[in-house]
Structure 1
């Protein structure tokens, strides 16, 4: 009976205690703990933040090294002081560290808070570093939790680590797409984030309760466990009080509202485009990349963190290749890294020890080790399977519920191939459909596409130059202003206007303004024979930058100066023939009645570019349709999206720059980064800072990059090189150095609509197959010596078989009347074809291989010798740098000669030359091979044989060999052999 009464009494006391505590929770939101927060002083107030200095009674000079703690955007700054004894600021203070905390407040309680952008947060943190540095006279240890850690990385990169002693982050993801929370597939996340950014957060912000509910939903088992534990112990006040402040913080007090624009910008830059990893995120119109980070970094990693997953957090190792990167791992989830017993025991003591070590007053913490980045596998998030199971099982056992999401990985893997194909098709089909709908009078032009982008996404970034980022709206405004200047100077539609400019924003704007006006942009290559080029392009005036002003004036034509507004001391007087367009006030120019923006039709001439092949300057006339074909074709073949940044290494006056790089970027909605020219150091710096994913090249451009000693072994974002003319040997070197990046080699005829592309990149040196939407192609049998197509018995051109060399022809389709050189009745009665200038062969797979220009085939005694196969096989030799092949007159015929330059001064042996050229039939091998000191490169980095050809046969030497026709081997080139060649009979 006594036992029963005691049990009843205890039960009654439990019920009463539960009721009393429950009523207190209902009335006040929790139990009164009597705890007081750590003391702090507001040192600085700004519209974006309040800067707290904790324990302000201590003089900053005596307070120890300063650490600035940055909270996530959705969380209160009190996250660092949840409990004085176990919170960050209290523990760090006790260790002799001077803690400062950035308090962004809650946007719903701040004037203009819901208009805050991501940039506002980054700039605010940068300002805070300056303030703390000024107060303390010391460099600052910048630290942040979750999104706050991302802010720290970004702010430090933005200021190039000036006055930043180190960066410390807790569960801060960097490679966001490598390991998304809870294994969400990347394609789901990027499309969802894109949709939310464009259609939700541009007009909606997130209240604090929404943030709290969302994060609790991300880990429902942990939330349920916490609440059940709380209810079970509601009768035991003493058991609850130690964790009550933490519970209240995470359940209600710790959450603040999010600004919609800031969330949208974060989603765009760091989820959709993953620019923490690739670089090229934008802060105040400046392009920034984490490769700018040079200070030491410590990243805390939660072994069971499903929000800042380990693989995503460890992305900082690749993203910041110039920094020392360390990590400290805890068996903790996302919140446990900074709040709770594990944080009090491990995180904050290790943080304090790290700061002391970096300041030279302590040892490196035992838990801190050098980070070794693991490559994403596509399946592993970095949270080990064993840890995940153990953690989940413990939660399930305590809460009494079960769940499973392991099927997500299986489902994702199962549909990956289908999904990727579908995605690429979805991107390509609208572009190809638009091409297919173009008729000669359809409106299409560079100016029109830029105007469309300006209307659809005015705030989207379009191009980058000298670290500055220019939006679609800004670019279109500048184009329209230049249009008014051109109208003021007398330019009308269909006028042929020369553009003589280096690659720079004003050059792009000038080309686009002429397109918008309906004029023809004649792209004059700097340094070329300008008089001849201007005459071929029918130029009546020239738009020029200050660097080329004197050369333009020397042509005697009217000159319009654009860019810079300064003449840099050049001895040129302004007059009726030299007009500074920068001095024309666009607002004062009344547009004439004939002006219609972007009037260009598909069949109309848009550009004139120049080719220097065979030593002759040739004008190539590009219609709007031809430009659009290359633009949309490049965008489709290279799978260009808004997430790409195309680095225009090729000059804009070259077809690769104008049609592939600029055209592809515009058609694909990608950003384009303009370079001041080929410089290896600049290249290494800009591809990381701009987040370059695609690099355009011409011919041997990549040679200087590969020959330089650059820190490109890790962390570069480039996935693809696009261009034309890359030698196979250089192609292999490029893909080896930049693996897993590939090469997309194009061949585009300017005579018609032929565009070939080696999309797969598997066959090195191959030009590939016709792009969808481009002209149908055929090879016509061709006699390169006679220079004529070969006809069959019925008078039609004979079509080549697989492996046979022939002239490439393209079917012009609806644009036949606007294409010069049209031939009719070629393969059958009534058909229409346009011949190119080049000879190809087609392999059994249907891929096309360039073998020569029809005017550079060597007329040897034994028959035609094609130069390109010789160049290709010699260029594959590891010691060969550059190579050319050409014919040298000898009697009435020619001797086939190949010249090579070598790397590191190591010339090949005769046996090595024989082995390399042994891949070709004897009749197609060069008669002589010799090593030369230098092979000149043209303006587009194309090796030139003209000077060597003019010099005649090489002199006999130990570095020259001739082909022994009896053995097919190469032997030393002697005086006797040279005399024999010089006397070759007809």
Structure 2
């Protein structure tokens, strides 16, 4: 509001205060309706119901939930919900979440999510969507799980992988970089790791989501008072507060692995990671990969997120984009509606297949047989065909991701990284 509020601002502020005090809030926190389509140990796969009058089409999207973060990160509130946006656009949308973790899960590490939970969810979504390949979208640690799964299981029906605010070089994270030299990088034998193990379940790091720009904006009563006439601002504050209050817990062993491998060991800085007695290498990923970083993300700064690009040499296409927002805001903040979500829409359209995986595989098999028949010796000699001249490489379309000069946050660092 202005220092001397205008009459309209006073009326709006009075209405918002009434909603906050008497109506329970200004945000529409109703979750998008969904149906459970598959479940198993540590996983529930949900399908979001199609919007009325909207026909679902294209390859499905599977939202991969981070450990300890509630699934509402993708469905924060009506008007700022990635789920709502995808459903309204007719995109088949699914979610995998993991349930509560408590002291009984103290021995649970990261292995189940990469070995079973995410792969089974991908297979279930593909089957439910008629055999089509799946677009994976992972925010924060969910993006790391998506990358490790795609690298470990190249046989899965994956159409593309999108990682949002997922740091792979923690030395570039200001919150972590200073204490790293002081920590013992031994594999789970220092006092911190033992503490995690004894605790069994470690409360989710709620403070991290509130850092640092959002903390300045939300936590101070003066900021709220200054925006009493802005129902959108107040609704976002309310939704984020509910989100952080619902942060779950990591199992003791899983948090210990995260602490040692990612914080002290910086495990993925070299592009590979040891898990379940095998080495998972990110260069094994063959699916197209989209990497998104937030301009004001203090948890996963641009440099920490961009570091993964150099390790994706095997991917069919790799693109990097910088979008406005902090760690949560870049995914589901008010600016995400005109920045992050259009980038994802363009990416899905570019890599949506024209047919289910089974049909595509059958056609590929038939094509191989036809090619083998053509190679068979023929009684009639044929004239050798001349070599074709290589096709000239054309400049990227102005509509291509990372090449749009009108996109506010486009830059040389966010152009297509393909040669």
Q: Normalising by structure 2, report the TM-score.
A: 0.72
Cα offsets for 1:572-625 (capped at 9, x unmatched):
xxxxxxxxxxxxxxxxxxxxxxxxxxxxxxxxxxxxxxxxxxxxxxxxxxxxxx
CA, structure 1 residues 287+86, in 2 after alignment: closer, same or farther (shift >3 Å)? same
Cα offsets for 1:664-706 (capped at 9, x unmatched):
xxxxxxxxxxxxxxxxxxxxxxxxxxxxxxxxxxxxxxxxxxx
Structure 1 residues 63-74: aligned runs within 5 Å: 63-74=57-68
User: Do 2:63 and 2:96's aligned partners in 1 also have CA atoms closer than 8 Å?
Assistant: yes
User: Do 1:354 and 1:364's aligned partners in 2 also have CA atoms closer than 8 Å?
Assistant: no
Give 1:368's aligned residue.
402
The structure with the largest strand share of the pair is: 1
Find the aligned partners of 2:171 and 2:31 in 1 and give their Cα distance. 38
Structure 1 residues 915-954: aligned runs within 5 Å: none
SS at match of 1:124: helix
Kindly indicate whether residue 256 of structure 2 is the aligned counterpart of residue 264 of structure 1. yes
Give 2:373's aligned residue.
none
User: Do 2:126 and 2:157's aligned partners in 1 also have CA atoms closer than 8 Å?
Assistant: yes
Kindly indicate whether residue 359 of structure 2 is the aligned counterpart of residue 359 of structure 1. no
Give 1:37's aligned residue.
31
CA, structure 1 residues 206+342, in 2 after alignment: closer, same or farther (shift >3 Å)? farther
Given the alignment, which residue of 242, 248, 266 partners 1:274?
Answer: 266
Given the alignment, which residue of 120, 125, 141 partners 1:132?
Answer: 125
Kindly indicate whether residue 302 of structure 2 is the aligned counterpart of residue 310 of structure 1. yes
Give 1:285's aligned residue.
277
Give 1:505's aligned residue.
none
Kindly indicate whether residue 121 of structure 2 is the aligned counterpart of residue 121 of structure 1. no
Given the alignment, which residue of 198, 205, 225 partners 2:217?
Answer: 225
Kindly indicate whether residue 80 of structure 2 is the aligned counterpart of residue 46 of structure 1. no
Query: Displacement, 1:274?
Result: 2.8
CA, structure 1 residues 140+14, in 2 after alignment: closer, same or farther (shift >3 Å)? closer
SS at match of 2:326: coil
Kindly indicate whether residue 153 of structure 2 is the aligned counterpart of residue 159 of structure 1. yes
Find the aligned partners of 1:24 and 1:224 in 2 and give their Cα distance. 27
SS at match of 2:167: coil
Aligned length: 351
Find the aligned partners of 2:9 and 2:352 in 1 and give their Cα distance. 57
Give 1:344's aligned residue.
337
The Cα RMSD (Å) is 3.7
Give 1:200's aligned residue.
195
Find the aligned partners of 1:168 and 1:191 in 2 and give their Cα distance. 30
CA, structure 1 residues 192+347, in 2 after alignment: closer, same or farther (shift >3 Å)? farther
User: Do 2:36 and 2:44's aligned partners in 1 also have CA atoms closer than 8 Å?
Assistant: yes
Find the aligned partners of 2:286 and 2:113 in 1 and give their Cα distance. 21
SS at match of 2:303: helix
Find the aligned partners of 2:277 and 2:226 in 1 and give their Cα distance. 54
SS at match of 1:81: coil
Query: Displacement, 1:97?
Result: 1.8
User: Do 2:196 and 2:202's aligned partners in 1 also have CA atoms closer than 8 Å?
Assistant: no
Query: Displacement, 1:180?
Result: 4.9
CA, structure 1 residues 168+17, in 2 after alignment: closer, same or farther (shift >3 Å)? closer
Give 1:184's aligned residue.
178
User: Do 2:185 and 2:265's aligned partners in 1 also have CA atoms closer than 8 Å?
Assistant: no
Q: Which runs of 5+ in 2 are unaligned?
A: 355-396, 405-419
SS at match of 2:170: coil
SS at match of 1:69: strand
SS at match of 1:143: strand
User: Do 2:73 and 2:328's aligned partners in 1 also have CA atoms closer than 8 Å?
Assistant: no
Q: Which has the higher contact order (CA 8 A, sep 6+)?
A: 2
SS at match of 1:181: coil
Find the aligned partners of 1:286 and 1:182 in 2 and give their Cα distance. 27
Cα offsets for 1:79-135 (capped at 9, x unmatched):
111123331111122333211111122314xx9444432112223111111111222
Give 1:402's aligned residue.
none
Find the aligned partners of 1:193 and 1:213 in 2 and give their Cα distance. 26
Find the aligned partners of 2:44 and 2:399 in 1 and give their Cα distance. 32
Query: Displacement, 1:64?
Result: 2.1
Larger radius of gyration: 1
User: Do 1:246 and 1:339's aligned partners in 2 also have CA atoms closer than 8 Å?
Assistant: no
Given the alignment, which residue of 187, 191, 211 partners 2:205?
Answer: 211
Give 2:139's aligned residue.
145
Query: Displacement, 1:193?
Result: 9.3
Find the aligned partners of 1:10 and 1:66 in 2 and give their Cα distance. 44
Structure 1 residues 740-779: aligned runs within 5 Å: none
Kindly indicate whether residue 85 of structure 2 is the aligned counterpart of residue 88 of structure 1. no
Given the alignment, which residue of 147, 169, 173 partners 1:175?
Answer: 169
Query: Displacement, 1:150?
Result: 0.6
User: Do 1:146 and 1:171's aligned partners in 2 also have CA atoms closer than 8 Å?
Assistant: yes
CA, structure 1 residues 233+353, in 2 after alignment: closer, same or farther (shift >3 Å)? same
Give 1:75's aligned residue.
69
